[in-house]
Amino acid sequence: MASAAGATVSTDELLARILQEVVDLKTRNALLENKIDALTESSSSAIFHGSANSTTGSYTGTGVSPLLQTQRRRQSSSGGGGLTPLHHAVGLSSGMIPGIPDLALASSPPSQPLGPSVLSGSSAGPSPKLAHPDLPSASTTATSASIPINGAVPVPSFAPKGVDFASQYYSSNRVILTTYPNQVGISPLPLHWGAADPQVRGPVLASRQMRSIKHRNAIGAYGGSYMIYKALACATGQLDPTHRPDFTDTEPPFEIPPQPEWGDPYKICTLDPFGHIAQTAFKKQIEDGMDIRPTLAATKAHIKMPELDDALKLGRLHIDGNIVIKSNHLPGMDPSQDPGCEVNTSKVAIEPVWYLPGVARRLGISEGTLRRALFEETGGMYPELLTRHDLSVFLPPISGATVYIFGDPAFLYNPAKELTARVHDEW
C-alpha cells in the first residue's frame, strides 16, 4: 500500500511538472505572438491598398504576404490549436491547478475559417469545384467557381471591392473570444470611475483594435446599437476595420461646467461625464495608439419646422434674436415670401456608459447578479462580464439619448437661471 501511495504521489508530481512546462510554453508562445502581432499590425491596413480581381478571386497589393504567413503559422502550429489541445487532453480547466495563474491554461480557440479566402493558392491542395445558383458567373460560360476546402463560397463579383480586403483581414487575425485579468499581456489603462479630474479618472477604452485590445478597460463596444451597422460596414469593405477617426475640430462648441456629482461614482453611473472631451483630455493616449472614442457629442444647431412657422404666425412665438431667430431665404424662394423662423439650440448626443456597481446599487441588486443577467439575456454576447471582474465599466448595445438645450448650457446646474432642456431617447 505504501508503495502504491508513493507511486500515486510521484505521478501527481510528474503531472504537475508537465503542467508547469505547459504553462511556461504558453507564456513564451504568447510573448512571441505579441511580437508577431506588433510586426503585422502595420501591414494589416495595407490589405485595403491593393488591387483585387473579384472574378478570379485573386489579390495583389502590399502587406498581404505577412498576414497570410501569420494565418498559416497559427493554423499549422500544433495542429492548428497551439497548446489548447493539451489543456483539454488532461481534462483540466482554468483555476483547477494550485499555483498556476487563472489564465495560464485559458486561451483563444485555434484560428477558424471565417469565410472564403480570396487569394489564389491560399489553401493547400486542389480546391473542389462547386456551382452556386445564387452567385453570378464570371462569364456566360463559367458556371462554377473555385471553393476553398472549408466549403465557403467565394465573394460574389457584384460585391464591393473592399469585401476581398475585409475577408482577408478577418481571416488573418487570431480570434480572441474573451480575456482574463491575469492573462499575459493584458494591461488595462487605469480607470478610476468617480474621479473629478479627467486625468485621474482616465479614458474609457473599449476598442478591440490590435493595439488597443490588450489595454481595454471597458466591456462592450463604442456606438451603442450602432455597433452592428459599423460591423456591416467593415464586413462589406466600406470601412477599414483598423480605421481611427480624425478628431480635428471636434471640440465641443460650448462648455458644460463640471459638477460635484461627476465625482460621485454612484450618481454618475450611466454615462461618461468626460465623454465629450475625450479627444482633448486624452489626446496623449490617442497619439500613443489607443483607439479612444468620445461617448458624448456636443454641437450647436438650428431647428426648423413648419410648426414653428405656424406658431410665429399665430403669435405664440416671438423672434427674440437669441433663441427664436428669423430664417434666411433659401435659394429659389420668392423674396416676398416670409421665410419664417427657427430655434437656436445646443445639442448633446449621449452613448450609454454604465458603471456596473452604481447601476446595481440603483436597481437594489448585487453586481454579480447584474453581470450574470446581462450575460445570459444578451445570448452570451459579452463573456467578459463574467471573466473580467476587474473591469467595472460596460458599454451596453442599446440606444442612447439626445438632449436639446434652449439657452446657455452653462446654466444647466443653476436653478436661478432660465433655461429649457428636453431629453429624449433615440427613437
Q: What tens digit of pLDDT does each residue of 48-99 get?
A: 444 444 333 333 444 444 444 444 444 444 333 333 333 333 333 333 334 4
Alpha-carbon distances, residue 404 vs 274, 295, 310, 407 (angstroms): 18, 17, 21, 10
In the prediction, which pLDDT does 165 show?
A: 78
pLDDT bracket for residue 29 (50, 70, 90) = confident
Q: Is residue 32 exposed (0-12), middle (13-18) or buried (19+ Cβ within 10 Å)?
A: exposed
Mean pLDDT, rounded, of the chain: 76
Residue 212 DSSP code:
T
For residue 151, is pLDDT > 70? no
Mean pLDDT, rounded, for 187-195: 96
Q: For 30-52, what is the mean pLDDT?
A: 58
Above 50 in pLDDT, residue 123? no
Please tell me the predicted confidence (pLDDT) of residue 173: 73
343-387 pLDDT per residue, tens:
999 999 999 999 999 999 999 999 999 999 999 999 999 999 999
Strand order in the sheet with 393-395: 219-220, 393-395, 354-355
Lowest-pLDDT range, 114-118, 324-328, 377-381?
A: 114-118
- Between CA 58 and CA 116 the distance in angstroms is 12
DSSP bridge pairs for 343: 303, 324
Q: What is the DSSP string of 65-121?
A: HHHHHHHHHHHHGGGGTTTHHHHHHTT--TT-STTS-TTTT--PPPP---S---STT
- Summarize the confidence of residues 315-332 as an average pLDDT: 91
Question: In DSSP terms, which residues pair with 349 in a beta bridge?
Answer: 297, 402
- Tally Cβ neighbours within 10 Å of residue 276: 24
How far CA 37 is from CA of 169, 279, 285, in Å, comes to 13, 26, 20
Q: Average pLDDT for residues 216-245, to the nearest whole number? A: 94
